[in-house]
Amino acid sequence: MTTRTLLALTLLIFFCAIAFAQPGANEMPSVIQVPAEAQPSSHFDATAATNAYLAQIPPDKTARSDAYFEGSYWLILWDFLYGAVIALVLLNLRWSARMRDLAERITRFKPVHTFVYWTQYLVLTSILGFPLAVYEGYFREHKYGLATQTFGAWMVDQLKGLAIGIVLGGILVTLLFAIVRRFPRTWHLWGAVATTGFLIFGALIAPVYIVPIFNKVTPLNDPKVVDPILSLARANGIPAKNVYTMDASKQSTRMSANVSGFATTMRITLNDNLLRRGSPEEIQSVMGHEMGHYVLNHIYKGVMFYFIVIVAFFAGLRWALDWTLQRWGEKWQIRSLTDTAVLPLALLMVSIFGFVFTPIDNTFTRSQEYEADMYGLNTSRQPDGFAQAAIHLGEYRKMSPSPVEEWIFFDHPSGHNRIYAAMRWKAENMKLFTGQP
Ligand SMILES: [Zn+2]
């Protein structure tokens, strides 16, 4: 593709984007009333209260968020297939071998050679993957009223992401190729250890060094918001001194919060959409949930879980690469496992594994989220705030999926199940609300 065609295409996409943009069209009101059925009473019924909350969402909004979320099921498949086709093109047309030859002409010094190959690979696959990426990350988000960015700003974020991918991905890939060269028999074990170590390093630096590349993170000063959160933190033995906020509204209307980092980089962050649209009860219930992740050591349990998964994956990768290279290695002009031209094949294996692994991955995460929900209800004692949060999050998730759908596709409990859990908690703690034993 020439530069001029690329420019023309970009301009065309830009003008279409303006026509599509309708920021905030999907927003639910900030203050959601506690429905009559969910008010404290002697005849309180958790199911009736749940249904009354769900009935607050207008049917057209439900149809819209269902369509958005169900579309994402298909995107998992299209992303996988599209990526697989790109990998097969790179291998069969021997573009990967040519990128290796070019990197060799530049340098034969192995680490730099690997880095040069990786840069070419990532730039080329980003260009080939652009049509699907722009649909998924830009047009589709605008169509459902979830995005707030202009095309130019979105594109800048993509380029920043590409640059970070070149640097961080380049470090990991260079490290892994060095391991394959150094330990021809046991590389899969050391590769798994190095990958896990690298993921921990990434999680450690992300809140402090990566997030600020895209968004402005500032300490939150408003005592009305901060004091109850820090009080909740102290009560739960969490050493947080500051609560941070970030301008997520720059990109999207989504509300969210998180606990990120390890040890000294650990921090609580609320995004500005939650601050702007959430009631105090809602914010406290979300913070209780986030503190649950911290107190229940979800980060460390996650590291252990993914370490086991990565070890299993690398063992499979070793076997699969040997098998494929024996058959097609010559045709693809890949000399051996230490040849950088093997990379698209290895990453194709990663995506096949990731695709098959989706339901297990989601179920692991969803189980932790459910634990954090229970912890959050117990510590914040804000079941109605939590129900409101579930409705807000329902702007981009399906509220009432089937159990099988939830098992395969949901990385959080569904909105219906979250509201029901809150109302069940309220029913069992009715004395807190009625003042009667
Ligand atoms: Zn969570």
Residue 8, pLDDT above cutoff 60: no
pLDDT in tens, 275-292: 988 888 999 999 999 999
- Region 286-300: mean pLDDT is 92
Residue 298 Cα to ligand 1 middle (Å): 10
Residue 256 Cα to ligand 1 middle (Å): 9
Amino acid in the structure at residue 419: I
Residue 22, pLDDT above cutoff 80: no
pLDDT computed for residue 299 by the predictor = 86
Structure-token pair, residue 318? 């070793």
pLDDT tier at 11, thresholds 50, 70, 90: very low
Residue 253 Cα to ligand 1 middle (Å): 18
At residue 76's C-alpha, the angle toward residues 75 and 81, to 5°, is 90
pLDDT tier at 208, thresholds 50, 70, 90: confident
Q: Which H or E run includes 259?
A: strand 257-260
Residue 336, pLDDT above cutoff 80: yes
Structure-token pair, residue 246? 């970030």
Residue 368 Cα to ligand 1 middle (Å): 7
Q: Which H or E run includes 422?
A: helix 415-428
Residue 382 Cα to ligand 1 middle (Å): 16
Structure-token pair, residue 140? 């589709």
Residue 353 Cα to ligand 1 middle (Å): 25
Residue 12, pLDDT above cutoff 80: no
- Region 218-227: mean pLDDT is 90
pLDDT computed for residue 20 by the predictor = 33
Q: What is the average pLDDT value for the chain, to the nearest integer?
A: 89
pLDDT computed for residue 9 by the predictor = 38
Residue 293 Cα to ligand 1 middle (Å): 7
pLDDT computed for residue 28 by the predictor = 53
Q: In angstroms, rounded to a whole number, what is the distance separating the alpha carbons of residues 188 and 368? A: 29
Range in 8-12, 91-95, 219-223 with the lowest mean pLDDT = 8-12
SS3 state of residue 243:
strand
Q: In angstroms, rounded to a whole number, what is the distance separating the alpha carbons of residues 338 and 104? A: 13
pLDDT in tens, 365-408: 999 999 999 999 999 999 999 999 999 988 888 999 999 999 99
Residue 347 Cα to ligand 1 middle (Å): 29
Residue 309 Cα to ligand 1 middle (Å): 21
pLDDT computed for residue 185 by the predictor = 93
Question: 159 exposed, middle or buried (CB, 10 Å; 0-12, 13-18, 19+)?
Answer: exposed
Question: φ, ψ for residue 244 (rounded to 5)?
Answer: -110, 160
Q: In angstroms, rounded to a whole number, what is the distance separating the alpha carbons of residues 342 and 351? A: 15
